């Protein structure tokens, strides 16, 4: 089957017997073109299924009106909600977004960045993959002269704007709550230490234990990829200890769900025998049994601030980034899985 040629501006011009330049101006709502002509151009464009060539437009104007968004995964409520709020803000200013996901892969993240730069996006808003340690691919964005804004997972070494919650203080809030419930042997299933947010959560956990003179044993601090399966595996490890924890703080809700499954399967009473706290406040946290205590990461505010920060650079028409860090206070949503005492 022969490949169908894409409709061009010249095709629309031929139908209406006007110049291609007039069609282009009409499609861009140029005030020099009459409303009658604009309406006719839009109608013919729709009839011929005309699709604008954003790449060509970007090369001509220097602006594509596209913003790349890179996330580790889109099946997380936090990331999907953040994307929604980024898009909502940017759409109002005439921008569209291109969403890519790394699936926690460094190589995929590198490929995503190359694709977005080739597409001539006007900026990139990104949250890093778990595997990311080297930052050369992010430096490419800065070298291209377009704004780079990071959220949730971003490294200080990049010296770009960052939006997220106070991960260090979040751990203090969690430990404060668990200690108030009478917990004394608190384990932590954390993310990989090389990722700044998980390292901050680990530091907060360790310092909070010191605050309450609670001893830490190495066997109670485990690193994880924070998947459901790994949450199950790490919970099994903790339950195999001679001296089991009386509470487990997990740095991600999916891993916490895996841990919850194991506890329920083994008929361990939650929170009476082991209290459980997750992180991210995924919708399922309020649907499982028992309902799971978790940290609200404020996806709405993070998405809104990230988009507004990008727009600020476009309005200033500058790539000189102010390197601001917008740190939001996390909120602990207390539910049945950790509530040993009546509040």
pLDDT of residue 24: 83
223 with 193: CB under 8 angstroms?
yes
Rounded Cα–Cα distance for residues 125 and 149 (Å): 5
Query: Could you tell me the pTM of the whole model?
Result: 0.80
CB-based contacts of 325, cutoff 8 Å, min separation 6: 161, 162, 163
Task: With a cut of 80, say whether residue 5 has pLDDT above it.
Answer: no
Task: With a cut of 80, say whether residue 101 has pLDDT above it.
Answer: yes
* 3-class secondary-structure state, position 329: coil
Task: With a cut of 70, say whether residue 333 has pLDDT above it.
Answer: yes
Q: What confidence category does residue 320 fall into, taking pLDDT thresholds of 50, 70 and 90?
A: low
pLDDT of residue 2: 46
Task: With a cut of 70, say whether residue 341 has pLDDT above it.
Answer: no
227 with 258: CB under 8 angstroms?
yes
Task: With a cut of 70, say whether residue 11 has pLDDT above it.
Answer: yes
Rounded Cα–Cα distance for residues 240 and 275 (Å): 17
41 with 27: CB under 8 angstroms?
yes
Arithmetic mean of pLDDT, 93-107 = 93
154 with 71: CB under 8 angstroms?
no
Of 122, 123, 130, 121, the closest CA to residue 101 belongs to: 130
Residue predicted with more confidence, 134 or 294: 294
Q: What confidence category does residue 60 fall into, taking pLDDT thresholds of 50, 70 and 90?
A: low
Instruction: For residue 157, give the DSSP letter.
Output: G
Which of the residue ranges 191-200, 297-306, 320-329 would you say has the lowest mean pLDDT? 320-329
Rounded Cα–Cα distance for residues 27 and 37 (Å): 10
pLDDT of residue 259: 98
Of 321, 335, 303, 319, the closest CA to residue 125 belongs to: 303
Domains of the chain, earliest start first: 9-52 (no CATH), 63-165+299-328 (3.40.50.2300), 167-297 (3.40.50.2300)
Arithmetic mean of pLDDT, 72-95 = 93
pLDDT digits (tens, 9 = 90+) for 25-45: 888 788 888 999 989 988 988
pLDDT of residue 295: 97
pLDDT of residue 56: 61
Name the most confidently modeled range: 8-12, 152-156, 302-306, 310-314: 302-306
pLDDT of residue 1: 43
Q: How many CB atoms lie within 10 A of CB 339?
A: 16
Instruction: For residue 67, give the DSSP letter.
Output: E
pLDDT digits (tens, 9 = 90+) for 243-293: 999 999 999 999 999 999 999 999 999 999 999 999 999 999 999 999 999
Arithmetic mean of pLDDT, 70-86 = 93
pLDDT digits (tens, 9 = 90+) for 128-151: 998 988 889 999 998 888 999 999
* Angle between helical axes of 136-143 and 106-118 (0-180°, round to 10): 10
Q: How far apart are the first and last CA of the chain?
A: 70
Task: With a cut of 70, say whether residue 62 has pLDDT above it.
Answer: no
pLDDT of residue 21: 86
Task: Report the mean per-residue pLDDT for the chain.
Answer: 90
User: Per-residue DSSP letters for 30-52?
Assistant: -TTS-HHHHHHHHHHHHHTT---
């Amino acid at each position: 089957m022969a490949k169908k040629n894409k409709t061009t501006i010249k095709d629309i011009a031929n139908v209406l017997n006007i110049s291609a330049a007039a069609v282009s101006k009409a499609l861009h709502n140029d005030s020099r073109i009459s409303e009658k002509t604009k309406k006719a151009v839009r109608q013919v464009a729709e009839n011929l299924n005309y699709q604008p060539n954003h790449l060509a437009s970007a090369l001509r104007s220097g602006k594509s009106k596209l913003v790349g968004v890179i996330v580790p995964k889109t099946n997380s409520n936090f990331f999907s909600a953040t994307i929604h709020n980024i898009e909502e803000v940017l759409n109002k200013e005439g921008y569209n977004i291109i969403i890519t996901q790394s699936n926690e892969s460094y190589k995929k993240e590198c490929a995503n960045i190359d694709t977005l730069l080739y597409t001539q996006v006007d900026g990139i808003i990104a949250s890093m993959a778990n595997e990311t340690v080297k930052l050369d691919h992010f430096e490419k964005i800065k070298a291209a002269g377009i704004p780079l804004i990071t959220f949730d997972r971003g490294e200080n070494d990049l010296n770009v704007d960052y939006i997220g919650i106070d991960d260090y203080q979040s751990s203090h809030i969690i430990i404060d709550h668990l200690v108030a419930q009478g917990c004394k042997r608190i384990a932590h299933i954390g993310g990989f230490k090389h990722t700044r947010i998980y390292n901050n959560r680990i530091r907060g956990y360790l310092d909070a234990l010191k605050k309450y003179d609670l001893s830490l044993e190495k066997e109670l601090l485990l690193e994880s990829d924070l998947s459901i399966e790994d949450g199950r595996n790490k919970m099994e490890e903790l339950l195999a200890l001679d001296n089991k924890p009386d509470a487990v703080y997990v740095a991600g809700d999916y891993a916490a769900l895996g841990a919850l499954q194991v506890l329920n399967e083994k008929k361990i009473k939650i929170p009476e025998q082991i209290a459980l706290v997750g992180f991210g406040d995924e919708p399922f946290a309020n649907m499982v049994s028992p309902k799971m205590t978790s940290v609200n990461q404020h996806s709405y505010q993070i998405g809104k601030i990230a988009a507004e920060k990008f727009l600020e650079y476009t309005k200033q028409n500058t790539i000189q980034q102010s390197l601001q860090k917008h740190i939001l206070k996390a909120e602990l949503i207390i539910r049945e899985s950790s509530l040993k005492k009546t509040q």
